[in-house]
């Protein structure tokens, strides 16, 4: 039986999904999450929308007013259109919900895949949630077959400087794997990464671990 090759990296995958989150409580009978608008995904847009919802006695949402914008009209409209379809348990409706309304927050945050498996037993993924949540876009370095045949393994520690828009503007290897080819692969890949904008100006350290395992 061919021994599988394991490629582990303490980083993230290229963006494949998103995670709109609603701060809906257990009072809601139905509160579907909104779909992340494709146009916003392509532009790398994120943000939180705060809405004031007025309810009817049966729990339906009769009106939704944006009290704090995300900064993007498409995200705002998507959030508003979604909450208008929500329905609360009638037993949870309070008198003020019928007049003043209640506040709900929907957060649109782009999210990368956490792990993936490729042909020939090659796998990649995060080992920790903290680093995973830092990045919006982070394609993995390629692990060449020649390097695997030579059993080149090791961990590369890369420091990435984040620019104003979240893109990596400078990288440097702060700890070598002991193999120049692996160091170069990790460094070149991370040049194309993009972090969430809240990390602008930060220096994020990324450990990239190339390993080979069999069974």
**Mean pLDDT of all residues in 143-168:** 92
pLDDT at residue 16, rounded to an integer: 29
Q: What is the predicted pLDDT for the residue at 125?
A: 67
Q: Would the pLDDT of 65 be above 50? A: yes
Give me the count of residues in the chain.
Answer: 215
Q: Which domains does the chain have, with CATH numbers?
A: 18-110 (3.30.2420.10), 115-210 (3.30.2420.10)
Instruction: Compare 189 and 124 and report the one with higher pLDDT.
Output: 189
Write out the DSSP string of 104-156: EEEEEEEE--SEEEEGGGEEEE-S-HHHHTTEEE-PPPP--HHHHHTT--EEE
pTM: 0.64
Mean pLDDT of the chain: 84
- Whether the pLDDT of residue 189 is over 80: the answer is yes
**pLDDT for res 212:** 84
The β-bridge partners of 15 are none
pLDDT for the residue numbered 40: 84
CA distance 191 to 177: 18
Dihedral sign from CA coordinates of 156, 161, 163, 169: negative
């Amino acid at each position: 039986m061919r021994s599988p090759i394991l490629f582990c990296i303490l980083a993230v995958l290229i963006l494949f999904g998103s995670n709109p989150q609603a701060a809906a409580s257990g009072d809601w009978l139905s509160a579907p999450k909104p779909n992340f608008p494709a146009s916003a995904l392509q532009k790398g847009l994120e943000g939180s929308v705060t809405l004031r919802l007025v309810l009817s006695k049966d729990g339906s949402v009769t009106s939704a007013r944006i009290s704090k914008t995300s900064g993007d009209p498409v995200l705002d409209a998507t959030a508003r259109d979604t909450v208008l379809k929500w329905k609360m348990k009638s037993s949870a409706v309070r008198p003020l919900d019928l007049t003043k309304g209640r506040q709900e927050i929907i957060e649109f945050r782009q999210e990368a895949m956490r792990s993936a498996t490729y042909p020939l037993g090659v796998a990649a993924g995060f080992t920790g949630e903290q680093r995973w949540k830092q990045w919006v876009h982070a394609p993995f370095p390629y692990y060449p077959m020649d390097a695997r045949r030579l059993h080149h393994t090791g961990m590369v520690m890369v420091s990435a400087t984040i620019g104003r828009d979240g893109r990596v503007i400078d990288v440097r290897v702060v700890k070598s794997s002991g193999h120049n080819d692996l160091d170069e692969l990790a460094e070149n890949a991370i040049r194309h990464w993009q972090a969430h904008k809240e990390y602008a100006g930060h220096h994020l350290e990324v450990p990239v671990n190339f390993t080979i395992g069999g069974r």
